[in-house]
Chains A and B, each alone.
Chain A
Amino acid sequence: MGKIFRYECRRLLWNKFFIGLAVVLLLYGALVLHAVTILGVAHTAPFSPWSFGDYLSRMLPLLWIGMLFFLTFYTSPKARRAAALTDAAPMPPRRYALARCAAALTGGALLSLLCMVEAAVFYVRMFGWCGWGSLLLPALATLLPALVFALGSGWLLGQIRPWLVYVWMAVPFLLAALPLPEALGLWNGSFFTACPLALETLDPAFVLPVAAAAAQAVLLAAGAALLAWGNRLRNITKK
Chain B
Amino acid sequence: MKAMRLFPLELRRLLQSRLTWLMMALTVASPVLGLVLYKPADSTTMLSMYLANPALAGGAAGAILFGLLAIFELDRACRSRVDILTDAVVSPLTTALTRLLALLTAAVLTAGLTMLVWLPISAGLIGSVFTGADYVLAYLLLMGLALPLGVLAAAAAYQFTRRADLSIVLFIAFCALSLTVWVGDWQLCWLNPCVWALSDDFSNSRIFRSVAWMRLTWLSALAGVWTLSYLCIRQYGKGMLGSLARSARRIYRPAIALALLACSGAAYAAQPFIDRSNPDLTVMSFYEIPYAEGVTFVRRTAQVFPDTNAGTVTGRASYQFQNTSGQEQSISFGITPGYIISNVKANGTDVPFTVSGYQEYNEARLEVTIPAQEDVELTMEYSGFPQESLPTMQGGKELSSEYLCLENAALSPRVMNVLPGEAGYPAEIEITLPEAMIAIPFGSSRAEVIAENADGTRTWRYETNSAGGILYAGDYICEQIEAGGMTIEFYYGRKHQAVMEEAGAVDAVKAVVDYCTEHYGKLSYGAGDTLKLIQSRVAGGGYAANGASLLDEADFTIANLKDTSKGAVPGEIFIHELVHQWWGLGNMFDDSDGSPWSSEGLTVYTTYRIVKELYGADYAQKYYVDQWQQVVDDYYLNFYVRHPEYLEMLPEAERLNIAGSLSGVRRYNEMPLKILKAEQLVGGEEAMDQILHDLFNRELDPMYPYLTYQEFLDACHLTEEDLNLG
Contacts and interface: CB of A to CB of B under 8 A. Distances in A.
B60 to A, nearest CB: 14
16 contacts: A31-B37, A38-B654, A38-B658, A39-B658, A40-B638, A40-B639, A40-B640, A43-B634, A43-B638, A44-B639, A45-B639, A45-B643, A126-B650, A126-B651, A127-B646, A127-B650
B654 to A, nearest CB: 6
A128 interface: yes
Interface in B593-644: 634, 637-640, 642-643
Interface string A16-46: 0000000000000001001000111001111
Given A40-B638, A127-B649, 9 more contacts: A34-B654, A38-B658, A39-B658, A40-B639, A45-B646, A126-B649, A127-B646, A127-B650, A202-B642
Interface in A108-151: 126-128
A44 B639 CA distance: 6
A38 to B, nearest CB: 6
Contacts of A202: 637, 642
Contacts of B642: 202
Contacts of A127: 646, 649-650
Contacts of A43: 634, 637-639
Contacts of B640: 40
Nearest to B643: A45
Contacts of A40: 638-640
B619 to A, nearest CB: 28
Contacts of A39: 658
Given A45-B643, A202-B637, A128 B649 contact: yes
A38 B658 CA distance: 9
A8 B528 CA distance: 85
A43 B639 CA distance: 5
Contacts of B651: 126
B492 to A, nearest CB: 35
A interface residue count range (under 10 / 10 to 19 / 20 to 34 / 35 or more) = 10 to 19
Nearest to A202: B637
A23 B574 CA distance: 46
Contacts of A46: 639
Contact of A126 (B637, B643, B654): B654
Interface hub of B638, B639, B649, B654 (most chain A Cβ within 10 A) = B639
Contacts of B654: 34, 38, 126
A193 to B, nearest CB: 13
A222 to B, nearest CB: 32
Contacts of B650: 38, 126-127
A128 B650 CA distance: 10
A39 B643 CA distance: 12
Nearest to B635: A43
Interface in B564-602: none
A225 B643 CA distance: 47
Contacts of B658: 38-39
B656 to A, nearest CB: 13
A128 to B, nearest CB: 7
Contacts of B637: 43, 202
A39 B638 CA distance: 9
B69 to A, nearest CB: 14
Contacts of B638: 40, 43
Nearest to A28: B37
A46 B634 CA distance: 16
Lowest 10 CB-CB distances: which A-B pairs, in order? Answer: A43-B637, A40-B639, A45-B639, A127-B649, A126-B650, A127-B646, A43-B639, A38-B654, A43-B638, A44-B639
Nearest to A48: B639
A92 B622 CA distance: 70
Contacts of B643: 45
Contacts of A31: 37
A63 B293 CA distance: 78
Nearest to B634: A43
Interface in A32-82: 34, 38-40, 43-46
B158 to A, nearest CB: 17
A46 B650 CA distance: 12
A45 B649 CA distance: 13
B176 to A, nearest CB: 12
B49 to A, nearest CB: 17
Interface hub of A34, A39, A44 (most chain B Cβ within 10 A) = A39
A11 B403 CA distance: 62
Interface string B547-574: 0000000000000000000000000000
Interface string B458-490: 000000000000000000000000000000000
